[in-house]
Amino acid sequence: MSGCTKQQIIAKIRAKGEEYTRCQFSPAQDAILKTFFDLVHEHDSLEEFHKICVLTPGQSMVVECRLYLTDQHSVLQMVQASDLEHTFPRPAPADIVVSHDVCTRANSVCFPVYFGGVNSTDKSSAGVLQVLCGQSLSEQEQFFLEFYARRIGTCLNNKISACQNIQHIKFVNGLVADMEHNVIIPNMYFKHLFNKLRKKIAGIDDLEREILALQQSMGVADSEPCKLIVAKVADLQKTFSGYHKEMEKHHKSCSLFLESLFRKDHFERGKLILHPKRCLVEKEIIDPQLEHFAQRFSHRNIVVRRPSDMRDEEIPLSVDIGLLAQVYANLFSNALKYAAPAEGHGENVKIVAYGREYSKDCFGPGLNGVKFNVFSTGPHLSDEEAGQLFDEGFRGENAGHKSGKGHGLAFIRQVVEIHGGRVSYEKVSGGNNFCFYLPLSSEGV
């Protein structure tokens, strides 16, 4: 009933109540259903569930039950029986087949079980509840057992989903532990290697000075071969130093993202957990991301316009630096993909800008906030697209063959909302403004 309104749920409750009223089950049959539902919720494993299915009716009716379910290869298997002491599952007898109708035999009746329950449309994934009885069942008893078999299907679907979810959670938790041990901790070793590399690069600088000193002492300072060697050493030092800074910058950004995305807290509690602190938003969050995108912006003829009054501003906010850095990374990544040439600034020049402004009462009377934005030149989005922009999986018409899965803006929305904020989109002169508001007080963090 995901997404149902209050009135829709009330309607379902009334319909279900009317259904049970029409059934007119006996007190003993009501007890069977109540016992079945209670025990199903008390026991977790599928094996226990199968036993409950076949044993419960026999406590109030003179019947024995056998439950058959199709396996992953659509082969019908006997998974449990109240009258047999076998190891299960075992192959179903040849005369037991999946049918959408109730099938009556000499000493038994077979009722269809659908994995999706009463309203299942997955007719290929079905099972059978075989009820063995010493005497023929009355019409009312047969109706009750058909109803019971359908409830088995409903509960079976929920039980399988629950077991799969438990296995999934165990797998994810194990994966997180593996990532901490095999990815995050080894990643810290790179910092040690970068320090060693920096010392070696400094050694090249020392070598250049030693060569110059040697030239002077030997009186060959003006020798062309010597000048060439010194120039090569200087170029080598400059090149290695540039590579070192670039690698160190990317490593720092990747390490921040790894730490903030793969925290144990996220997986143990099933949601993003903040580690908030006060920071200089532009210097500590925006600048590193701009450095990360600098070369790519340059290659795409994208000019970045910075505010003049934000760098050393201490905004009264507590934020999760790692997660908010990824908000800006996603916004800059989208700007890189979708920014279009700006009118009046040359044929290929594109503009990206960012900033902030204080917004009074934006979260209600007396609840002030800060509006952050990233602007990029380009055509406006349609009203329909703007309304779905931050939905998971949504991609606009301008996405074309550009890479992406429509997750970035949904992630931004999630991060901003757990900070107590909200996201928005604005059509502005010359382009598009992607905004998010954060509360100034720390109560929302």
At residue 346 the predicted structure's pLDDT band, cuts being 50, 70 and 90, is low
d(CA 194, CA 251): 10
Q: What is the CATH number of the domain that holds 394?
A: 3.30.565.10
pLDDT for res 421: 95
Looking at the fold, whether 334 and 312 belong to one and the same domain comes out as yes
Residue 121 lies in a domain: yes
Q: Is residue 265 part of a domain?
A: no
The pLDDT value recorded for residue 47 is 92
Q: Determine the average pLDDT of the residues in 232-244.
A: 85
Around 77, how many Cα atoms within 13 Å sit in the side-chain half-sphere? 14
| pLDDT at position 128 | 95
| 268 within a domain of the structure (yes/no) | no
Q: Are 149 and 112 in contact (CB under 8 A)?
A: yes
**16 and 134, same domain (yes or no):** yes
Domain check: are 233 and 159 in the same one?
A: no
Indicate the number of domains in the chain. 3
Range of the domain at 305: 281-444
Q: Among 135-144, 181-190, 192-201, 337-346, where is mean pLDDT lowest?
A: 181-190
**pLDDT score at 213:** 84
Cα–Cα dist 56/51, whole Å:
8
* Sign of the four-CA dihedral 203, 208, 213, 218: positive
Residues 331 and 437 occupy one common structural domain = yes
Q: How confident is the model at residue 24 (pLDDT cuts 50, 70, 90)?
A: confident
End-to-end alpha-carbon separation of the chain, Å? 31
- Please indicate, yes or no, if residue 274 is contained in any of the structural domains: no
Choosing from 166, 199, 223, the residue where a domain stops is 166
373 Rama class: left (phi>0) / alpha (psi -120 to 50) / beta? beta
* Residues 350/376, Cβ–Cβ less than 8 Å: yes
Strands of 126-133's sheet in order across: 90-91, 76-81, 63-70, 126-133, 108-114, 103-104
pLDDT of residue 405: 61
Query: Contact at 8 Å (CB) between 46 and 160?
Result: yes
- The Cα-based distances of 44 to 41, 161, 255 in angstroms read 7, 11, 39
Mean pLDDT value of segment 419-433: 94
- Calculate mean pLDDT across residues 175-194: 72
pLDDT in tens, 348-361: 789 999 999 999 99
Report helix, strand or coil for 264: helix
**Domain contains 301:** yes
Q: Is the pLDDT of residue 180 over 70?
A: no
Query: Is residue 132 located within the same domain as residue 20?
Result: yes
Determine the average pLDDT of the residues in 92-120: 83
Closest CA to 440 of 354, 323, 358: 358
Average pLDDT of 95-105?
89
Q: What is the pLDDT of residues 310-345, one digit of tens each?
A: 888 888 899 999 999 999 999 999 999 999 997 765
Please tell me whether residue 304 adopts helix, strand or coil conformation: strand
Quote the mean pLDDT of the chain.
85
Q: Give me the CATH number covering residue 22.
A: 3.30.450.40
What mean pLDDT do residues 201-224 have? 81
- On whether residue 193 sits in a domain, the answer given is yes
> DSSP string of 62-82?
SEEEEEEEE-TTS-EEEEEES
Whether residues 128 and 153 fall in one domain: yes
Is the pLDDT reported for residue 444 higher than 50? no
Q: Parallel, antiparallel, or unpaired: how do β-strands 350-359 and 302-305 relate?
A: parallel
In a domain, 4, yes or no: no
Which positions ≥6 away from 219 have C-beta within 8 Å? Answer: none
Confidence of residue 281 (pLDDT cuts 50, 70, 90): very high
Please determine, for residue 363, whether its predicted confidence score (pLDDT) is greater than 60.
yes
pLDDT of residue 443: 43
- Does the residue 267 lie in any domain? no
